[in-house]
Structure 1
């Protein structure tokens, strides 16, 4: 027994020397001493925070807003690692580069959050902008990472914040990759989410082994996961490595022309401040400048685009456009609907909402979660994925809202009851052009990117 105790003391002394050496080299520094909450302060709600068995324990309290145990120090560039274990019916998150200021919503905590989500949605590791912009990177973008979180067990989180790049890892698996246009610094905080039902009181989350690096930062090797880049009309080196390219250069008409035309429209469209703008004409579809299409044809692809609506506006992004039908109005193709659902009457036409924002127009309604649609006048992020096996997905601000497969009996049945029933082989071209629609309303586009799948 004495021999075992002696060996333990030698091991502990060796570990302490190594830790001191790491700290002196600017490596890992502990943010939690395992005994008390020294170096931390509580903000906003009054959930219970205490130290038990070498861990910080957060407990939900009824009718309290989101609570945060925040570091007294602020951080900008860093690598953070910690472990946590959460109640399977509880939502939480790790705040970073966050603030609480009297001049912002009376001190409401706002800033980045690495999501802790044990629900069936499985967005643990996603990036949420608490109290500000909402979801920036959901795990619908990165389905493979949804399995990284282990419910009911201790999980390991890693956050890399270097410059304008944020990367997250769940149990060693790359979860989110964000490049942001908003440079920030701020505190790190442990969230206990608000609850509204008595039976939800007393749920707990535990955190331990919280450590940070702030110097000589060495991020993990780049992964090939999807990159959300919020810098308009720009490509990061990782996006380029992933095969993403700009479909519109942000400055010229290169690569685009009018539908059924050989040149870009002389009126109805304007390139201004990095935006490709449909000008308001007050008329119907394609009566001003008309639709524009890519000169290039696409089969299996991933298309990203930002769009911004004016009140009551209507537009669309079409794909597999062939121009063979020579339609008098807008060219024919599968359409990602771009619409002001609240003010434009088309939202109430069709069937079961299949003409609302992000729907497969007149065929399949988009299943929009409450947080996926931005207010009119703000930028939305749209995405269309077409796989080689003809599976197709629509995304709106990171949420997968439509999923179908063209060429199936269900697809043909949907077409047969739609306004496209009379068009032979509708939506079934092997390749087609991508189209931005002129519907006579003011709509802006930017950050149009494509990747072959």
Structure 2
């Protein structure tokens, strides 16, 4: 019996170590301040110059959260780049809208694989892939400042809607389908409630998950410069200010060695 126990102990240690590594989250928002992040509110203000406090940490009930007023277009970006990860955050809408977004759908965005100079898109955002955050459209895709991904879709009216069994199309600023792909299902909670977004990025594949539901799978992440395409598989994470008040919390990330089996199954991947 003792011999069997001795043989099992190393196996148990390996299992526990693997489990601990799997659940090792990197906390991106420390719950106190914006340490580890950069702000950018256009070329006139530049980096980390936010006199209107578009990005700040405020109290919501008994916890601190990030508030984005939405007054002006800009981004809050991590200082570090990431590759092959599962990222998670929570968001909820505020009440304010500004400028040309006044009275319209509230809008923000969860940009990933953000690279290059700040302000490459609309003088506000880096080149990236966008996990859209917008009332009624959370989970959509936009290619930002040269970002490209392939998405299986079916055309419904004027929209190209994610369909796991659809035709694979390239989405970019210069493609026939454009740079906007529509999510396959609406899983957003009513305005004012917290939503949980999960993003899985492994290799050149990414998966958008809204409140536990896979709403889009994207392939062959890449970028284009002067007509030449190259892979885009890592970069910073950037949260948008885009004319609407929004709150964020629980922003964290963990490295992965593969897309989890349960997510692949829900997404219909082999």
Name the TM-score, length of structure 1 as normaliser: 0.38
Aligned to 2:27: 30
1:154 Cα deviation from its structure 2 partner = 0.5
Q: Deviations over 1:241-264 (max 9, x none)?
A: 6xxxxxxxxxxxxxxxxxxxxxxx
1:221 Cα deviation from its structure 2 partner = 3.3
Q: 1:55 aligns with which of 44, 47, 65?
A: 65
CA distance in 2, matches of 1:144, 1:166: 13
1:139-154 equivalence runs, <5 A? 140-142=161-163, 145-152=184-191, 153-154=193-194
Deviating runs (4+, > 4 A) in structure 1? 21-26, 102-108, 133-139, 142-145, 215-218, 223-226
Alignment pair present for 1:163 and 2:203: yes
Aligned to 1:124: 138
CA RMSD of aligned residues (A): 3.2
State the structure with bigger RCO (CA 8 A, min sep 6), 1 or 2.
2
Q: Deviations over 1:136-192 (max 9, x none)?
A: 657722588533111311000000000011001000000110111522211001111
Do the aligned partners of 1:26 and 1:215 also contact (CA within 8 Å) in 2?
no
CA distance in 1, matches of 2:149, 2:204: 17
Q: Which runs of 5+ in 1 are unaligned?
A: 1-20, 196-202, 227-237, 242-453
Q: Deviations over 1:6-30 (max 9, x none)?
A: xxxxxxxxxxxxxxx9876662121
1:223 Cα deviation from its structure 2 partner = 4.2
1:102 Cα deviation from its structure 2 partner = 7.3
Greater C-alpha radius of gyration: 1
Alignment pair present for 1:79 and 2:74: no
- Corresponding residue SS for 2:161: coil
1:87 Cα deviation from its structure 2 partner = 3.8
Alignment pair present for 1:98 and 2:111: no
- Corresponding residue SS for 1:147: coil
- Corresponding residue SS for 1:221: helix
CA distance in 2, matches of 1:31, 1:124: 21
Aligned to 2:213: 173
1:75 Cα deviation from its structure 2 partner = 0.7
Q: Which runs of 5+ in 2 are unaligned?
A: 1-17, 43-49, 96-104, 152-158, 164-181, 223-230
Do the aligned partners of 1:97 and 1:188 also contact (CA within 8 Å) in 2?
yes
Q: 1:190 aligns with which of 239, 252, 262?
A: 239
1:224 Cα deviation from its structure 2 partner = 6.1
Do the aligned partners of 2:90 and 2:248 also contact (CA within 8 Å) in 1?
yes
Gap change, CA 1:130 and 1:176, over 3 Å in 2: same
Gap change, CA 1:51 and 1:139, over 3 Å in 2: farther
Q: Deviations over 1:352-407 (max 9, x none)?
A: xxxxxxxxxxxxxxxxxxxxxxxxxxxxxxxxxxxxxxxxxxxxxxxxxxxxxxxx
CA distance in 2, matches of 1:136, 1:96: 16
1:129 Cα deviation from its structure 2 partner = 1.4
Aligned to 2:36: 39
Gap change, CA 1:144 and 1:42, over 3 Å in 2: closer
- Corresponding residue SS for 2:238: strand
Do the aligned partners of 1:158 and 1:168 also contact (CA within 8 Å) in 2?
yes
1:99 Cα deviation from its structure 2 partner = 1.5
- Corresponding residue SS for 1:140: strand
Report the structure, 1 or 2, having the larger strand content: 2
Name the TM-score, length of structure 2 as normaliser: 0.62
Aligned to 2:74: 67
Do the aligned partners of 1:44 and 1:109 also contact (CA within 8 Å) in 2?
no
- Corresponding residue SS for 1:205: strand
Q: 2:255 aligns with which of 201, 205, 214?
A: 214
CA distance in 1, matches of 2:118, 2:200: 28
